């Protein structure tokens, strides 16, 4: 009974942190507006810069959409933690009588929700401009797995970099080398689905995404307390 109550309190704490971020963003719209404008600008620039035939466009689509997601996501990660730090909310969260890993999971869920909102808008926009069907079940699965891995690592590293004076520069420096495996796997798997490659050529990349997600979620769960203490 006591164990179940503790688990229930833990889940409520995660939900409270995530809902706080989502409710604050619904009121201010600071974070999502910046991510969306940036993403749409990147898509439009690529659309006019890459005057390619249909076959070549299909081959570069995976790279273009993941570059868009990663840079928009980095902007969102940096801003979401910076808001907490500047308003003094981060200190209040750390003083709350809950396991600090609940704060991590709550922040990760809200960051993932922001990424999903951006992706929901970007995918049909890209499909319309490039005349490519991006609404394939396999491709959507890859986007889901890649987004989870990206936000799992990004939330941890943004909590680390927000403590520094050069946080806007520090997060990309820390984040991009770490997400290279998930970015390569996501681009390869996405390209495989878009080019209708056999499943046995795509499956290793999907497996890499799953392993990456599990490992880094576990690592973040274990070290988040020490990161925010520093």
Give pLDDT, residue 51: 66
Q: pLDDT at position 13, please?
A: 84
pLDDT class for 87, splitting at 50, 70, 90?
A: low
**Banded model confidence at residue 230, pLDDT cuts 50, 70, 90:** low
Q: Average of pLDDT values for 16-42?
A: 83
- Tell me how far apart the alpha carbons of residues 139 and 3 are, in angstroms, rounded to a whole number: 39
Task: State residue 1's pLDDT score.
Answer: 57
Which of 42-56, 57-71, 74-88 has the highest average model confidence (pLDDT)? 57-71
Encoding tokens for residue 68? Answer: 């868009």
- What confidence tens digit (pLDDT) does each residue in 95-121 have? 777 788 888 898 899 999 989 999 998
Q: How far is CA 29 from the centre of its chain?
A: 18
Q: Give me 118's structure tokens.
A: 């951006």
pLDDT attached to residue 145: 95
| Residue 59 CB partners (closer than 8 Å, separation 6+) | 191, 195
Mean pLDDT of 173-181: 91
Q: What is the pLDDT of residue 189?
A: 94
In this model, does residue 187 exceed pLDDT 80? yes
Q: Hunting for tokens 């200190």 — which residue is that?
A: 91
Are 79 and 107 spatial neighbours (Cβ–Cβ below 8 Å)? no
Nearest to 79 by CA among 140, 119, 126, 30: 30
Please list, in sequence order, all residues whose beta carbon lies within 8 angstroms of the beta carbon of residue 62, skipping any fewer than 6 positions away.
186, 187, 188, 190, 191, 194
pLDDT greater at residue 64 or residue 82: 64
Q: Give pLDDT, residue 212.
A: 95
User: How much is the pLDDT for 186?
Assistant: 95
* pTM assigned to the model: 0.90
For the chain, the average pLDDT equals 84
Express each pLDDT in 107-161 by its tens digit.
Answer: 899 999 989 999 998 999 888 888 888 888 999 999 999 999 999 999 998 888 8
């Amino acid at each position: 009974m006591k164990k179940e109550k503790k688990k229930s309190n833990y889940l409520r704490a995660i939900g409270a942190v995530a809902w706080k971020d989502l409710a604050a963003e619904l009121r201010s719209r600071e974070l999502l507006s910046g991510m969306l404008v940036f993403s749409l600008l990147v898509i439009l620039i690529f659309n006019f810069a890459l005057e390619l035939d249909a076959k070549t466009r299909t081959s570069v689509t995976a790279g273009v959409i993941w570059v868009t997601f990663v840079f928009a996501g980095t902007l969102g990660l940096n801003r979401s933690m910076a808001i907490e730090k500047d308003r003094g909310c981060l200190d209040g969260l750390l003083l709350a009588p809950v396991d600090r890993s609940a704060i991590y999971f709550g922040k990760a869920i809200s960051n993932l929700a922001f990424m999903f909102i951006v992706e929901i808008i970007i995918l049909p926009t890209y499909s319309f401009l490039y005349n490519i069907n991006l609404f394939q079940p396999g491709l959507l699965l890859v986007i889901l797995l890649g987004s989870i891995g990206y936000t799992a690592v990004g939330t941890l590293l943004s909590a680390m970099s927000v403590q520094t004076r050069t946080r806007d520069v520090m997060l990309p420096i820390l984040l991009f080398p770490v997400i290279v495996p998930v970015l390569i796997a996501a681009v390869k798997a996405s390209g495989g689905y878009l080019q209708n490659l056999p499943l046995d050529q795509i499956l290793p990349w999907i497996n890499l995404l799953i392993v990456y997600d599990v490992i880094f979620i576990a690592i973040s769960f274990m070290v988040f307390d020490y990161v925010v203490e520093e």
